[in-house]
């Protein structure tokens, strides 16, 4: 099994595999302070909701490392400002807000301790977030593997593997588990425009793991579904509302509509940290709009005429009625989603 180190904190620096450059170049982006982390999240050096959450945790550690050498009264003010900036680096992925809230609680609960001690406690907490994510992914993979039939052909969208998490993956973690369970699966991976996370990242992970697969253009998926060549669709999530509505990479909603029309099971794979228990429906999810350059250019090369206006939402929302189930580390949640999601809340 290939080991992909997406996130590593070593020698007081955060080391991230630079996902902007894969698969052409395997290089690492080094974060020496929280501003580097904020940039890495915003510019998608690191992406995927769980990976963003774990990275943000270490961003808080780097902020504490920087400010603990100053005056005590300044430490907490500067930390508040740093956490606020990290919290706003991407607006849709709820794991980011979850991780920042968790680190804020650690600061609040230990505010009377020496600053060096607060730093050490924050570092321990960030390590826990990273470790917990890997353990969570493996639990999800085990539950998800239960619904994968032998010889299944699976369609996936965007990247939901080790690169999108602290390790192993969400939807791609289920695919890994099925592969290593000798289920003789086959995978179709959407290229996932406009940033090509499926073509650049998922295809790279599938090749690394030697999982039988083909890469397809996004607009080939509907034909495969119609022609009965897809048995199961597995995708990730960036935020899940209380009623099961799910925000994921743009194009997910379209897949869910076609899947429903042709009775292909459509599953979300995400940890419970991706569930936003404070919002009722997907209508409340803030959808990030990104630069027009992501659409007009591919890998830095212009593919559209200058001056053309662009609409570039990073995510869309799949309504709960299109979802067969949400695979979490606590089991598979099915309709009625609101009732059953509440049951798994800690």
- Among candidate residues 36, 133, 238, 245, the one labeled active-site is 238
Nearest CA to 239 among 160, 316, 325, 141? 316
* Residue 104: Cβ within 10 Å count: 16
Residue 156 to residue 191: CA distance in whole angstroms: 10
Active-site residue flag, 238: yes
Residue 185 to residue 135: CA distance in whole angstroms: 24
Active site residues: 238
């Amino acid at each position: 099994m290939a080991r992909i180190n997406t996130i590593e904190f070593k020698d007081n620096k955060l080391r991230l595999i630079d996902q902007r450059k894969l698969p052409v170049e395997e290089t690492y982006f080094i974060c020496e302070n929280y501003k580097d982390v904020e940039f890495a999240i915003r510019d998608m050096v690191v992406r995927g909701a769980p990976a963003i959450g774990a990275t943000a945790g270490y961003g808080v550690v780097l902020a504490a490392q920087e400010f603990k050498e100053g005056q005590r009264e300044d430490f907490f003010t500067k930390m508040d400002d740093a956490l606020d900036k990290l919290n706003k680096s991407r607006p849709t992925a709820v794991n980011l807000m979850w991780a920042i809230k968790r680190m804020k609680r650690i600061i609040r609960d230990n505010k009377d301790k020496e600053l060096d001690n607060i730093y050490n406690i924050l570092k321990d907490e960030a390590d826990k977030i990273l470790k917990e994510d890997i353990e969570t992914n493996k639990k999800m993979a085990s539950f998800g593997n239960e619904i994968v039939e032998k010889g299944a052909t699976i369609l996936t969208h965007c990247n939901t593997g080790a690169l999108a998490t602290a390790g192993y993956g969400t939807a791609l973690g289920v695919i890994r588990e099925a592969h290593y369970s000798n289920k003789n699966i086959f995978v179709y991976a959407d290229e996932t425009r406009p940033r090509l996370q499926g073509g650049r990242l998922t295809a790279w992970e599938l090749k690394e793991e030697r999982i039988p697969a083909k890469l397809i253009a996004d607009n080939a998926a509907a034909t495969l579904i119609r022609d009965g060549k897809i048995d199961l669709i597995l995708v990730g999530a960036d935020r899940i509302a209380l009623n099961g509505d799910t925000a994921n990479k743009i194009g997910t909603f379209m897949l869910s509509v076609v899947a429903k029309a042709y009775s292909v099971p459509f599953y979300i794979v995400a940890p419970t940290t991706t569930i936003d228990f404070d919002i009722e429906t997907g209508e409340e999810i803030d959808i990030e709009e990104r630069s027009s350059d992501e659409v007009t250019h591919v890998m830095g090369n212009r593919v559209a005429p200058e001056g053309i206006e662009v609409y570039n939402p990073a995510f869309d929302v799949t309504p709960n009625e299109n979802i067969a189930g949400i695979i979490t580390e606590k089991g598979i949640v099915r309709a009625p989603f609101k009732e059953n999601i509440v049951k798994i809340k800690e």
